[in-house]
Amino acid sequence: MTIQTVEIPEGTEAFGKTIDAFARFGHSAAVRAHGLLFISGQIGRRPDGTAGETVEEQTELALRRIEEILRQENLDLTALVDVTSYHVDIRHNLPEFLTAKQRFIDAPYPSWTIIGVDGLASPELLVEIQATATYPENG
């Protein structure tokens, strides 16, 4: 069984200086195993480390990070098969999340679980998105 981590190069636009968080928290951006790509939860931080001001902006930033991880593996958002998103104050914030999500995710849609939580790693964070993608069967 081959398991490989996906490393995000320093200076990658979507991650900027936040790239050090993977080492600091002791996890990989993504792991490739059994024809799947398991993407760690991505948050709505700008490349300079500041959090997006709105749920919509944070969702877009998190999805751009996922998009960049997929790009590193020669994939795109259509490769997503399963997604879980975690939301602070879900009833209030869901409409903004859905607005941003609809700009990125097209049919056929991946499975998606939406979970309300009391908080995330930092108090300014409002959404975190974890995903699994599949590689082409002949790739």
| Assigned domain for 53 exists | yes
Cα separation of 99 and 69, whole Å?
Answer: 22
Cα separation of 49 and 103, whole Å?
Answer: 23
pLDDT in tens, 121-138: 999 999 999 999 999 975
Domain residues for the domain of 118 are: 3-134
What is the pLDDT at residue 24? 67
What is the pLDDT at residue 32? 94
What is the pLDDT at residue 29? 87
| Assigned domain for 139 exists | no
Question: Looking at residue 67, which CATH number applies to its domain?
Answer: 3.30.1330.40
pLDDT over 60 at 139, yes or no: no
Peptide bond into 123 cis (omega under 30): no
The count of domains in the chain is 1
pLDDT in tens, 4-26: 888 887 878 887 777 666 666 66
What is the pLDDT at residue 16? 75
Inter-axis angle of helices 90-104 and 55-72, to 10 degrees? 40
| Assigned domain for 45 exists | yes
pTM of the model: 0.91
